[in-house]
Amino acid sequence: MSAEIKNLNPPSVWEIFYDLTQIPRPSKMEHRAVVFAKEFGEKLGLKTYVDKTGNVIISKPASPGFENRQGVILQAHLDMVPQKNSDTEHDFENDPIDAYVDGDWVKARGTTLGSDNGMGIAAALAVLQDKNLKHGPIEVLLTVDEETGMTGAFQLERGLLDGKILVNLDSEDEGELYIGCAGGMDTSGKLRYLDEPIRADSSALELAIKGLKGGHSGLDIHLGRGNANILLCRFMFDVAEKFNLRLAGMDGGSLRNAIPREAFAIVTIPPEKKDDFLAAVKEYEDIYRTELGFVEPDLTFRASVTDRPLTIIDKESQDKLVRLVCGMPNGVIRMDPEMPGVTETSTNLAIVKTGDGEIDVQCLLRSSVDSAKISLGSSLQGVLELAGADVTHSGTYPGWKPNVDSTILVTMKSVYERDFGKIPDVKVIHAGLECGIIGDAYPGLDMISFGPTIRFPHSPDEKVHIESVQKFWDFLLRTLENIPVK
């Protein structure tokens, strides 16, 4: 049961995190989390403000003797990614997350856990409620809609924050400090198709690619995981002519910032080809398992008989869709030449859906180099337009340029080495953090990001390492005690 996590250490953090698991808060629907945070601050008697976008700001005065320290902004985001396995019954708008302890980790049953960024929220609020901590002036900034557009950060009002140091609590490897991040952009294409009547003697089958790990389209893109959209279209590209395959509809992926774990298609074939077609599906499952078995041990590819659809997609549009997906760039485009092991530029072919006469293809591009991001967007636009798609670029957000001379970086490196016996790794993350956007609104902020160890965010395999949460909490407290004077 979820309540068992309240017994973990540190209890103040885990108790708040448990409360968050009981509050539905998918992106753009986190209003109940806004109310929770607002009431949390008000019950403590702290100055609490909710701006017109829904961002929550709670201010806590310095503890006695620390009034001369620089003000710190603890920042996290209120929304979570709503991903679930297809065989899991869960309504993210109404149901709580069923979190549980599994050895050294906390996980959720069949859904995302919400530790991204629930652990950051819990830590920030725990700082507010603890009356025994030593710290200078603190402001907690909790933003909305980070995962689907960083709306809260983009629309954050100017002049609300006084702090000079921003500590983002949205990183996912304990012992690492992040001083920069990639920027991003959404690229989508829409194609129109015509519905054609289905032949009366056709057999209908549902194709299903399932069991992939998926994951965060930035943090996990370099791991070489399978993309369900590409695997499904690859099969259809290879066998369509042999089996007179006609596509009635496709539904692959659900979130632009998650590597697609599942993809489905309804197809029709002549009934006399059914046995050979099923054998071909099995053959391609074996091929995919051979190619991806090391990273995708649970991959399945199945075909099952289904009700015949009323219509199919016209042949020309079907061919365009399948060839488009097979030809689209996907995955790591370039590694950072100056930082070994760090992805510089990538793209995630996240969503492919058909319906109401329209094919919708959505990608999320990331790069720490703005010009490379723009160039990649042009490449995707070229491929999409060759297929006849109308292309839009949206949701562009800037990267966060590293500052190796940052005062808070020097402080936190020193504290970590003193208290934990080693120097933390300093990195740039291939994911979108809100620091760059907030830094534009509040120029001159000294910024850094860190957090506990979280694995497989944006997927139902998401989990947070229990021991790392205690270490993350201790490090946060020691950092606040050692913030430089004004």
Whether 220 and 322 map to the same domain: the answer is: yes
Whether 458 and 476 map to the same domain: the answer is: yes
Residue 357: left if φ>0, alpha if ψ -120 to 50, beta else—which one?
left
pLDDT digits (tens, 9 = 90+) for 312-337: 999 999 999 999 999 999 999 999 88
- The CATH number linked to 463 is 3.40.630.10
Q: Please state, as a whole number, how many other Cβ atoms lie within 10 Å of the Cβ of residue 42.
A: 12
What is the count of structural domains for the chain? 2
Split at pLDDT 50, 70, 90, the class of 1 is low
Asked if residue 486 is part of any domain, the answer here is no
Q: Can you give the residue range of the structural domain that contains 353?
A: 185-397
Q: Is 440 a catalytic residue?
A: no
Concatenate the DSSP letters of all residues of 333-348 into one string. EEE-TTSTT-EEEEEE
pLDDT digits (tens, 9 = 90+) for 189-213: 999 999 999 988 899 999 999 999 9
Burial degree of 98 (CB within 10 A; 0-12, 13-18, 19+): middle
Of 397, 421, 437, which closes a domain? Answer: 397
Q: Which residue do the tokens 């790069």 mark?
A: 367
For the chain, the average pLDDT equals 96
**What's the rounded Cα separation, in Å, for the pair 247 and 426?**
49
Q: Which residue do the tokens 């949390």 mark?
A: 40
Catalytic residue (one of 15, 79, 170, 173): 79
Q: Residue 2: its pLDDT value, please?
A: 76
Query: Residue 266's beta-bridge partner residues?
Result: 206, 249
Of 376, 397, 418, which closes a domain? Answer: 397
pLDDT of 437 strictly over 80: yes
Whether 248 and 384 map to the same domain: the answer is: yes
Contact 2, 98 (CB under 8 A): yes
pLDDT digits (tens, 9 = 90+) for 216-267: 999 899 999 999 999 999 999 999 999 999 999 999 999 899 999 999 999 9
**What's the rounded Cα separation, in Å, for the pair 39 and 311?**
52
Of 367, 397, 427, which closes a domain? Answer: 397
Distance of CA 201 to the CA centre of its chain: 44
Whether 28 and 127 map to the same domain: the answer is: yes
pLDDT of 378 strictly over 70: yes
Whether 364 and 240 map to the same domain: the answer is: yes
What global pTM score does this model have? 0.81
Q: Residue 165: its pLDDT value, please?
A: 98
Whether 158 and 221 map to the same domain: the answer is: no
Query: Residue 143's beta-bridge partner residues?
Result: 77
pLDDT digits (tens, 9 = 90+) for 103-147: 999 999 999 999 999 999 999 999 999 999 999 999 999 999 999
pLDDT digits (tens, 9 = 90+) for 8-45: 999 999 999 999 999 999 999 999 999 999 999 999 99
Whether 301 and 422 map to the same domain: the answer is: no
Asked if residue 234 is part of any domain, the answer here is yes
Q: Is 79 a catalytic residue?
A: yes
Q: Residue 86: its pLDDT value, please?
A: 83
In the three-class reduction of DSSP (H, G, I as helix; E, B as strand; rest coil), residue 171 is classed as: coil
Contact 354, 313 (CB under 8 A): yes
Whether 339 and 267 map to the same domain: the answer is: yes
Whether 405 and 393 map to the same domain: the answer is: no
- Cα pseudo-dihedral 136, 137, 140, 141, rounded to 10: -120
Asked if residue 87 is part of any domain, the answer here is yes
Catalytic residue (one of 30, 116, 145, 146): 146
Degrees, nearest 5: CA angle 143-218-209: 115
Query: Residue 48's beta-bridge partner residues?
Result: 58
**What's the rounded Cα separation, in Å, for the pair 214 and 260?**
5
Whether 461 and 345 map to the same domain: the answer is: no
Asked if residue 319 is part of any domain, the answer here is yes
Contact 387, 324 (CB under 8 A): yes
